[in-house]
Amino acid sequence: MTDHPTPKSTWQRWKDSIAMKTIKWLPENQVSRGVRSPHFWIIAALMAVLTLVYYAGYTPLAQFGSFFTDAFPHDLHRTLFLIPIIYAALTFRVRGALGASFVFLCVVLPRTFYSPYTDPLVRPLLLVLFTAFLGVLTAMLIDRVEKEEKAHVELNIAHQKLSTYVQQLKESQDQLIQAEKLTSLGQMAASIAHEINNPLAGVLVYTRLLSKKLTEDTARKEESLDYLAKMESEVSRCSRIIRNLLDFARQTQPTLRLVDINQVIEQVLAMVGHQAQLQNVEVVKEFSPSLPKVMADFDQLQQIFTNLTLNAIQAMPDGGRLTIRSSAVDSEVRIDVQDTGCGISKENMGKLFTPFFTTKAKGKGVGLGLAVVHGIIERHKGRIKVQSEVGKGTTFSVYLGGHDDEKG
């Protein structure tokens, strides 16, 4: 998984701002530290100084303190209590705000005894209420901001953990694929050896037979040609197996050029036609005459249709009909390889393109044909679909991107 730097959200920008830095400066967990916190004593000292200033004007201290009361404008000496209250709210939250407001109330109450006015309590009490409200509000706000910050940090940690898990999962998956490849290689070695050994043994038998007949001068032309045809068929079977294997192992990139699909299929049918005839399979060609050419690798397309048609022929051991249909659908070229063979069961449908999946008897199939077909189509950025009904037949549909300006 790649990490992309995400643009800073408003929240993040605010978080980095001076306001947030100030909040962060406040020591954490003050609430639980109480009197052991230096902030408690700073607030207490501030309260004491302000109380002194407050009473300087009304008590017998007035003679020393008239300087303060004269120096402060109306009510400012009381309003200054807001500083320790907000301070308490910031460090000790709601508890601190309420506690400091209570101290403030205790400070202003005795003043009534010395007041020369008739409404001595109304204004100071209103101020106490106001500062308490402001303190509690600040405390709640800070609480909220801190909670959000905490949630944000937790979310980041969770995200990092998740990324690590995803990475680990990917690594395990890679190891699993590697292990599966090794298992596949084992299976492959066994089946390939078997698969290639049979035709080679056949070729050996015919070669010996032919050489014996030639030595004894008893070889008839027709018989010899038949032996040679059989040898050719066996050798081309070996060649096909090796070619599939090489393609599966190498996963070569296609050499692209404009290809006429109808021509590819014609060449394939020329190669497999003999086998179709042997198995009593009728070949029906339904080619669209105005098929766009496709950008593809000619040899690899040949391999696709050789594998598909041979599979179709092998699915009809008692004869049947093989229909090859080409058509243009939207901007794509569609080629159907349809047979009237045994069909594919539902449980096997999902495994068809898995390397080394085969239902054929030993020596008849390696299980690489469709895996190779799938790989080639993928490299050509095309698609393949299968429709099948057991006992009725199967249709493989290949879709490749067409070039409209190049009609075949």
Structure tokens at 210: 């032919």
Which of 365, 375, 402, 408 binds ligand ADP (CB under 6 A)? It is: 365
| Residues 6+ positions from 111 with CB-CB distance below 8 Å | 54, 55, 58, 120, 124
Tell me the H-state helices in 16-121.
18-25, 30-33, 38-56, 62-71, 76-79, 82-108, 111-114
- Other residues' Cβ atoms within 10 Å of the Cβ of residue 397: 17
- Under the binding rule (CB under 6 A), the answer on residue 323 touching ligand ADP is no
Per-residue CA distances from 90 to 50, 142, 352 (Å): 19, 7, 68
Q: Tokens 């068929």 sit at which residue?
A: 233
> Closest distance between ligand ADP and the C-beta of residue 257, in Å?
26
Q: Residue 368 Cβ, how far from ligand ADP at the closest point, in Å? A: 6
Angle at 55 between CA 69 and CA 108, to 5 degrees: 115
Our finding on whether 369 is near ligand ADP (CB under 6 A) is yes
CB 47 within 8 A of CB 55: no
By CB under 6 A, name the one of 37, 101, 311, 340 that touches ligand ADP. Answer: 311
Q: Give 289 or 350: the residue with its C-beta nearer to ligand ADP.
A: 350
Contacts of 130 (CB under 8 A, 6+ apart): none
By CB under 6 A, name the one of 13, 170, 360, 407 that touches ligand ADP: 360
Strand pairing partners for 384?
Answer: 398
The Cα–Cα gap between 30 and 207 comes to 97
Q: Is 338 in the site for ligand ADP (CB under 6 A)?
A: no
By CB under 6 A, residue 288 contacts ligand ADP: no
The verdict on 344 binding ligand ADP (CB under 6 A) reads yes
Binding residue (CB under 6 A) for ligand ADP from 135, 320, 341, 375:
341
Question: Which of 241, 130, 243 is CA-nearest to residue 193?
Answer: 241
Question: For ligand ADP, which residue of 264, 366, 376, 398 counts as binding (CB under 6 A)?
Answer: 366
Nearest distance, CB of residue 362 and ligand ADP, angstroms:
11
Count of residues engaged in binding ligand ADP, rule: CB under 6 A:
21
Smallest separation, CB 280 to ligand ADP (Å): 16
Instruction: Decide if residue 358 touches ligand ADP (CB under 6 A).
Output: yes
Nearer to ligand ADP (CB atom), residue 91 or residue 307: 307
What is the radius of gyration, based on Cα positions, of the chain? 45
Q: According to the binding rule CB under 6 A, does residue 303 interact with ligand ADP?
A: no
CB of 367 to ligand ADP, least distance (A): 4
Rounded to a whole number of angstroms, the minimum distance from the CB of residue 303 to ligand ADP is 11
- In angstroms, the CA 393 to CA 406 distance is 34
Instruction: Pick the binder of ligand ADP from 79, 184, 359, 387 (CB under 6 A).
Output: 359
Among 352, 376, 384, 400, binds ligand ADP (CB under 6 A): 352
Q: Going residue by residue from 189 to 218, which x/- string records binding to ligand ADP, judged by CB under 6 A? A: ------------------------------
Instruction: Choose between 221 and 346: whose C-beta lies nearer to ligand ADP.
Output: 346
* Residue 69 or 302 having the CB closest to ligand ADP: 302
* Out of 91, 262, 300, 307, the residue judged to bind ligand ADP by CB under 6 A: 307
DSSP state letters, 215-262: HTT---HHHHHHHHHHHHHHHHHHHHHHHHHHHHHH-PPP--EEE-HH
Q: Give yes or no for residue 370 binding ligand ADP (CB under 6 A).
A: yes
Angle at CA of residue 334, ends 332 and 340, nearest 5°: 170
Residue 130 has what DSSP assignment?
Answer: H
Q: Give contact residues for ligand ADP (rule: CB under 6 A).
A: 307, 311-312, 315, 339, 341-342, 344, 352, 357-360, 365-371, 394
